[in-house]
Amino acid sequence: MARRRIKRLEKLKLSALLTFFRCHRGPSDDHSRIGTVGFSRVVYVNEPERLKEEGFSYPLNEVSTTKYNLGTFLPKSLFEQFRRVANFYFLVSGILALTPLAPYTAVSALAPLCVVIVATMAKEGVEDWRRKQQDHELNNRIVKVHRGNGNFEETKWKNIKVGDVIKVEKDNFFPADMILLSSNYPDGICYVETMNLDGETNLKIKQALEVTLDLKEDIKFREVRQTIKCEDPNANLYSFVGSMEWKGQQYPLSPHQLLLRDSKLRNTDYIYGAVIFTGHDTKVMQNATDPPSKRSTIEKKMDKIIYILMSSLLMIALLGSVFFGIWTKEDIRDGKLKRWYLRPDASTIFYDPKRAALASFFHLLTALMLYSYFIPISLYISIEMVKLLQALFINQDIEMYHEESDKPTHARTSNLNEELGMVDTILSDETGTLTCNMMEFIKCSIAGTAYGQGVTEVERAMAVRKGFRLDDDIENGGHKDNKIDDSPHVNGFNFKDPRIMDGNWIHEPNRDMIRDFFRLLAICHTCIAEKDENGKISYEAESPDEAAFVIAARELGFEFYKRSLTTIIIREWDPSQNVVEKRKYELLNILEFSSSRKRMSVIVKEPEGRILLLSKGADSVMFKRLARNGRKFEEDTRRHINEYSDSGLRTLVLAYRVLDDKEYKEFNEKLNAAKTSVSADRDEKIEQAADSIETDLILLGATAVEDKLQKGVPECIDKLAQAGIKIWVLTGDKMETAINIGFACSLLRQGMTQIIITLEQPDIIALEKNGDKLTIAKVNI
């Protein structure tokens, strides 16, 4: 034992020393250490054959999601069949039927079992064959791959190798995990839909490294040679660490450059990418699990019933065998034959009065076989046939056809059909499920004044809840004289207020703040402006919120016109002179939105020379960052935000700050140092740099956008409730907002008892600020 401990300690010391030297070798400069610390995967871009020459072995890009293959189908499928109690029982009975104990022939025992097993295995085989066909279709999709001299040839997905350069066009899926090299946009961004990975419908922005942005033509890849070093394959969708060697320099890679397999390119004409993970090394396949052995509730209940029947059968057979043994033992007594017609004097081992106990045991086995029809073997095959027919009916159900996507319903497996009728609880989120996730700008608060006279679905539900209906006068803001503009509806814009519309904002007492408010909406975003053949501007946005803000600014005279890597151009309509003026802002920095920051900011230089920080974010973080002299309208804005939240609207607070040259220069140096860092806390350093500048803000106001309910949601929820199904909805809205949305979608109805559990009590809030988790837990208990 002592020797083992010593050897274990020696191994630990050696491992620690190797780790120390691996992490500290080479110069101390960050760029020289990239690729040596923790990066074990090497990718030679445009040279996939070189990997093999240097001994690197990576899997092919062909994937399989089937449960069986030719070698494993028979053993795996047989195991699945004999997990069922009845099948195992009939197998044992069939084996015993081959012995002289059987009261019938072996064929009559094994034939029904074989029919049941073969039929069920055939069904499993057909369903797995369909999975294989889907894999075959996926593996044989076509994508353009660079094959030398600037030629991109159409290649099947399964033939893609690590190191290949691929061109993916709009609305196509990425065939492997890739590093984004460039796109058709000048700043190298692209929009990605990851719905197949995480269920999110919002588009995500990816951006190439600045050094590869000029790779926009096929011919330019003729001489491209790069080395990428990165982490090993893992299942984490939201993290990536690596580096790219380009012309002798090292550049850090992050998740902003990573394009994942099965995500789709949206709102971007094309991108070029270098493959780093293929096949089962991709993150989506790392997250995939083997097809499970699914057993429905009915099958489990059937097994329990079979156990009861088997117990009854065993008791009957055991009782008969005990009496048989007693009577057999008494067949020859005092030299006389008691049951002479059975000829006990000429009996075999199965009926020998001298060995009555053994004869009784053999009689037990015979009785178990004889009474085996007590257990219905046809029950399983009947259930399988019913499930198969149900799946066919589901596939042909015209009522479940989705016209917009041109997709019928498809039952991938028939094993769980019967579970559909056993659903008793539905767990749902709000955004994208109950609501359309299509935002419309409907109200706003600027300089403490509320604008917008539209009525939301939640407000209508609140009115019905209070016993009255909103008429046209109420919808017009409560004034009969107010005439709502009946101009054609614009997607993303449902704002109606004569005080703001048609340039009337110039007559408002707070017109300067109104102008700054809509300028901020036109500048603080990551949208891309696209011009069609008719010269009309449309926007490609990461989220529907941003699209609604930019559209609202355009409709009110502040049109976001064009952007580049370094500039943003907006066209402002001056109502006083009835002219459109182009204003060109120098884009200095973008501080991106994240779930932890809950805000987004841009830093721009005005044509007049001022440096502005423009910020928008959640009220919970923005109000804390206001300057003392920037809180003039805070109380009114808070009140309006609460009113908007009660109406089911999503709110954001808008604020700005003027920066001097020295302050901005110090911040920019700090931010660049954080971005070029390759340490594990790189993101934290970037966030700290952003936090240092996003302070002392001046409040402009707040926006309110509406996410309308999906068509038919109230009716659907009402029918589910009538069917006795319990429904739970998760939402991040405020409590009163959640209650009102519940009434709007018929989740809550009049007469229901409301039980509200909240931790928003003054004493608990004080404890949370102090960070005393133990005391908070005791108070909650």
Query: Both tokens of residue 716?
Result: 């659907």
Q: Is 625 a known ligand-binding residue? A: no
Burial, 721: exposed, middle or buried (Cβ in 10 Å; 0-12, 13-18, 19+)? Answer: middle
Q: Tally Cβ neighbours within 10 Å of residue 599.
A: 21
Q: How far apart are CA 396 and CA 655, in angstroms?
A: 55
Asked whether the beta carbons of 634 and 689 are under 8 A apart, the reply is: no
User: Which residues, at least 6 apart from 675, have a Cβ–Cβ distance to it below 8 Å?
Assistant: 682, 686
User: Which residues, at least 6 apart from 645, have a Cβ–Cβ distance to it below 8 Å?
Assistant: 651, 733, 734, 736, 737
List 30, 135, 429, 696, catalytic entry? 429
**Torsion over CA: 500, 504, 508, 514 (sign):** positive
Q: Is 472 a known ligand-binding residue? A: no
Q: Is 471 a known ligand-binding residue? A: no
Long-range contacts of 468-471 (CB under 8 A, 24+ apart): none
Residue 657 pairs in a beta bridge with 613
Q: Is 290 a known ligand-binding residue? A: no
Q: Judge whether 429 counts as a catalytic residue.
A: yes
Asked whether the beta carbons of 393 and 406 are under 8 A apart, the reply is: no
Tell me whether strands 336-337 and 165-169 are parallel, antiparallel or unpaired.
unpaired
Separation of first and last alpha carbons in the chain: 49
Q: Is 733 a known ligand-binding residue? A: yes
Q: Is 432 a known ligand-binding residue? A: no
Q: How far apart are CA 238 and CA 197, in angstroms?
A: 11
DSSP string for 654-677: EEEEEE-HHHHHHHHHHHHHHHT-
Strand ranges (DSSP E) for 399-557? Answer: 425-429, 435-446, 449-451, 528-531, 537-540
Tell me whether strands 558-563 and 726-730 are parallel, antiparallel or unpaired.
unpaired
Q: How far apart are CA 732 and CA 746, in angstroms?
A: 19
Eight-class DSSP state of 292: P
Q: Is 282 a known ligand-binding residue? A: no
Q: Is 429 a known ligand-binding residue? A: yes
Q: Which amino acid is at 282?
A: T
Q: Is 431 a known ligand-binding residue? A: yes
H or E element in which residue 271 lies: strand 270-277
Active site residues: 429
Q: Which residues are annotated as a binding site?
A: 429, 431, 546, 593, 616, 650, 731-733
Q: Which residues are annotated as a binding site for Mg(2+)?
A: 429, 431
